[in-house]
Amino acid sequence: MGDVRWKVVAAGLFGLAAAGLAQAADRVKVGFVSTLSGPNAALGVDIRDGFNLAVKLHGGKLGGLPAEVLVADDQFKPDTGRQLFERYVKRDKVDFMTGVVFSNIMLAALPEAVDNNVLYISPNAAPSSMAGKDCNPLFFAASWPNDAYHEAAGAFANQRSLKNVFLLAPNYQAGKDSLAGFKRTFKGDIAGEVYSQLGQLDYAAELAQIRAARPQAVYVFLPGGMGINFIKQFVGSGLSKDTMLLLPGFSADQDIISAIGAPMAGLFNTAHWSPDMDNAANRKFVAEFQKEYKRLPTLYASQGYDTALLIDAAVRDVKGRLEDRQAVRNALRAARFESVRGAFKFNTNQYPIQDYYVRTIGSDGKGGLVNKSFSEPILRNHGDAYVQQCKMAK
């Protein structure tokens, strides 16, 4: 994507705090921009629903202040995302921005927030550049680094003694990060590495390449409708009889299971969260999400929910003094909330340090399928590979 340049000046960032002028706000305004239409809409809808559920369970408040959440659809277009960020930051004067699913949209829109001294809390997109050389004090990733699920998948492939794997991802930043992450931990050979078009839904050519390469396994990063179509076509082609399909968690999430059905049974995937995680915060989240929306939550929903809880904790800890950006940032870095994923903390680059698990898809006991996590993490207290490149001041 090229280098990202920021124009934030320290004096502008934290001047109000130094001057002692910050006062408690009477409400919290959040700009929420996400992909809410088209083949990948399910991802943004789940993030939105998880975020809104957390606000509802807090009585319509964040940190004890009435919350106004302004929601808009980026239509899977970087230019639209940037325009919406500009509107919320400059016209609506929001306190926080959040919501974006895809890294290319976020990287296009993010300068509108940080150049205007507005914190962005990412519920999903977390590109490698922002973890390293382009890290920024106004950017927090509340999800997972772009590479992490794929590093976990590579470690699992080693555990399963796989000798060669074929790799497939869309040709954009997160796709490149994903395959870089897999190769970082996988010790075997790469039978093939293909980058498809972002948003592509027909994988006949890629399936022909996989058939010709004859790998032991295929690892794909294909979010949303891309993943649904690929898995259906992979199984329909007959390749699944002899070739293992290994997935990142979002390509084997509940929305994917619901769309595909029986062919998902027995597939392995890697994630930092699972609906069966046995902690109080997660039990409450899963139960309340099902009650509110009549469906099981996905990874995306859990990330939206946690993002709202993180903002709630920060607003609470600064006692509503939202103009004091340094105090708000310190409160966000402290992350004093109970995450649905269990143990969670921020690294020095404001990316998560957390556990990653292998999940397998099995019966829910009611005629359906659901993810079930292995009891022990495949990666424990795992950060990212780029933190040493981040020169951000504390």
Cα 24 to chain centroid, rounded: 31
Q: Against a cut of 0.85, is the pTM above it?
A: yes
Q: Write out pLDDT tens, residues 364-381.
A: 999 999 999 988 999 999
In the predicted model, what is the mean pLDDT of residues 288-292? 98
Q: What is the pLDDT of residue 18?
A: 45
- DSSP letter string, 158-227: HHTT--EEEEEEESSHHHHHHHHHHHHH--SEEEEEEEEPTT----HHHHHHHHHH--SEEEE---THHH
CATH 3.40.50.2300 domain span(s) along the chain: 28-144+277-346, 147-271+358-382
Integer CA distances (angstroms), 370 to 299, 303, 359, 377, 384, in order: 12, 18, 10, 19, 28
CATH topology of domain 147-271+358-382: Rossmann fold (3.40.50)
In the predicted model, what is the mean pLDDT of residues 143-171? 96
In the predicted model, what is the mean pLDDT of residues 215-227? 93
Q: What is the distance between the alpha carbons of residues 25 and 237, in angstroms, rounded to a whole number?
A: 58
CATH code that applies to domain 28-144+277-346:
3.40.50.2300
In the predicted model, what is the mean pLDDT of residues 270-282? 96
Q: What is the pLDDT of residue 22?
A: 59
In the predicted model, what is the mean pLDDT of residues 117-124? 98
Percentage of the chain modeled with pLDDT above 70:
94
Residue 370 contacts residue 269 (beta carbons within 8 Å): no
